[in-house]
Structures are given as structure tokens and as C-alpha cells.
Amino acid sequence: MNKKILIFASGRGSNAEAIHEACVTGEVRGEVVGVICDHHEAQVLQRAARWGVPAVVIEKKDYADKAAFDAAILKAAESFSPDLICLAGYMRICGENLIHAFPNRILNIHPALLPSFRGLHAQRQAVEAGVKVAGCTVHFVGTGLDDGPIITQVAVPVYDDDTEDTLSARILEQEHPAYVRAVKAFCDDALCVTRHKVTGMHAKEQ
């Protein structure tokens, strides 16, 4: 039976598109059942309309505080009864209430080889640090910043003349297939989390 996948996104939703396409083609045994977005003008909402799936917009400014916002997010998420939540360019830190409600059922992709360069502007951090290898990481979401168990990683070279933009573009090319592989493994019930280690697919893929 296909897994029900809920997408969280804030912007273009290119990773969301890759996941949806993989579900449509049958590469992933899943179905995107909805989108939760925190910006009324985000391009991902146009994608959701094209896919024919419902989208819910929940903006922080409409709530008195973070607790109220987090409660609204959780209520919306639970209304979809998802098996899996995929953060696809979702630019907010998930509330602990959501993480506890869906333990090891929320995936995120981060444009760095974690645990290096957590947080925002990871590509800029990599360029400024002078590293020779960067990449992307798909991981389960934990209660700390980009600290959940790592599912898969893909490395890309960093060239001497790289900027944040050129490195970002090179990493993005690898993000879509890496995320799809991780979602496929989850939907195939292949992943096992023991303490902080994920088994069931290669820890590092080139």
C-alpha cells in the first residue's frame, strides 16, 4: 500500500516536484496527499494546484506566538494523517510538538554534509570555510538544528572559483535524486533507526 506523503515547503518546491514525480511514475510507493506552506505567494502552491492536491497556508504573522503557530501546524498536519512528512525547502524550525507526534517520520534535506555547516546559508559557510568537498544530506528531523539521524549523503567538489550560487547549483543537482532515494527507502519500509544511526540504505552515495 502506498504511503501518504505530506509536503512542507516555503518556496519554489523543486524537491517537492521531484518527490511527487517519483510517486506518479511508481518509483516511490507513495502519494503526495497535501502541502503545508508558510507563504501565500510561494511557487509550491502552484505546483500543488497542478498536482490536484490540497494546500494549506499557515503564516506565522497570523498567530500571537510561536506556540500558537506550532499548534496550528500540528493540527493541519494531523488532518492529512500522513505516514511521512517531507520538508522541501521549508524555512522554519519544526515545533517539538510536531516532531514528537511524528517520530522518525519527518525527513529533511540540507545542502551540506552534516554535521558540518548546520543552519542557514550552508553553501556560503562551506565556501567561506575553504572546504574542498561539500554536498547534501537527507536526514530524519530531530529536536535540535539539523541534528537528526542521517539517512544518505552525496558529496560534490568545491572548486577554487566557486561562489555560494555556483556551489548551490551543483548541490541542487544532487538533492533531487538523493531525496527521492531516501523517500523510496522509507516507503519501502527499508530504514531502521537505532539510537542515532540509520541502516537500510548506503550511508554515503557518490
Residues annotated catalytic, as ranges: 110
- Predicted pLDDT at 205: 42
DSSP string, 137-149: EEEE--SSTT-SP
What burial letters (b/e) apply to 111-123, b meaning 16+ CB within 10 Å?
Answer: bbbbebbeeeebb
Contacts of 45 (CB under 8 A, 6+ apart): 35, 37, 55, 57
The tens digit of pLDDT for each residue in 29-77 reads: 999 999 999 999 999 999 999 999 999 999 999 999 999 999 999 999 9
Which range (18-27, 81-90, 167-176, 193-202) has the least confidence? 193-202
Question: What number is the average pLDDT over the span 13-33?
Answer: 97
Kindly list the structural domains of the chain, giving each domain's residue range(s) and its CATH number in brackets, ordered by start. 1-102 (3.40.50.170), 109-206 (3.40.50.170)
- Predicted pLDDT at 195: 86
Look at residue 203 and tell me whether its pLDDT is greater than 50: no
The tens digit of pLDDT for each residue in 117-162 reads: 999 999 999 999 999 999 999 999 999 889 999 999 999 999 999 9
The tens digit of pLDDT for each residue in 86-108 reads: 999 999 999 999 999 999 999 99
- Predicted pLDDT at 202: 57
Strand partners, 107: 86, 140
